[in-house]
Amino acid sequence: MKLIFATNNQHKVQEIKKGISADIDLVSLKEAGIIIDIPEPFDTLKDNASEKSQTIHQLTHQNCFSEDTGLEVNALSGAPGVKSARYSGEHATDTENINKLLGELAGKSDRTAQFRTVISLIWQEKEYWFEGTCPGVITESPSGDQGFGYDPVFKPDGSDRTFAQMNMEEKSAFSHRQKATQKLIDFLRQQHP
């Protein structure tokens, strides 16, 4: 069963391939020969995920899915949220985004946060959504060199290490993306036993 993952982010492809069953042929945009950068113009993760999957479905007329993920920090009223990848500017690096986040949290005692992933799946012309969250805290300074994005400053509840101090398997035990993906996989197994 072929399924296009509407992303250009190889980290996300690797993370989801780890959790997806072997009978599903997960194909990234690059592997599908689609060179496109889909804008994320909306204020919600759900709308951005939907925009990406709808765009790819209109291009290919194939089953596909996309996801949008945000880091939601309680002391910042849910920011950076939907703007997580562009928190300190349109072409911001992970380091610039982390530095801005730590600056915004300076002096704040509440460092609780969560990662939230919303998946939009277009399956046989219908759209379905799946969500996963991972609660945790923002550390005072970055630790670790694994992962990407805010991983060096996010410590999930139940762990004494940041995501960037974990390998892929350790991270997936907590991962918001893995939780949403598992719901997607469970759905696909029901459709395609």
94 catalytic, yes or no? no
Q: Give the list of residues 6+ apart from residue 108 with CB closer than 8 angstroms, or none.
A: 75
Give me the residues paired with residue 68 across strands: 118
Angstrom distance (rounded) from CA 114 to CA 135 = 4
Check: CB of residue 132 under 8 Å from CB of residue 183: yes
Check: CB of residue 101 under 8 Å from CB of residue 117: no
Angstrom distance (rounded) from CA 23 to CA 39 = 31
Residue 99's closest CA among 156, 141, 70, 147?
141
Which one is catalytic: 68, 145, 157, 186?
68
Whole-angstrom CA distances from 40 to 21, 65, 66, 162 are 28, 15, 12, 28
Check: CB of residue 26 under 8 Å from CB of residue 20: yes
Catalogue the active-site residues.
68
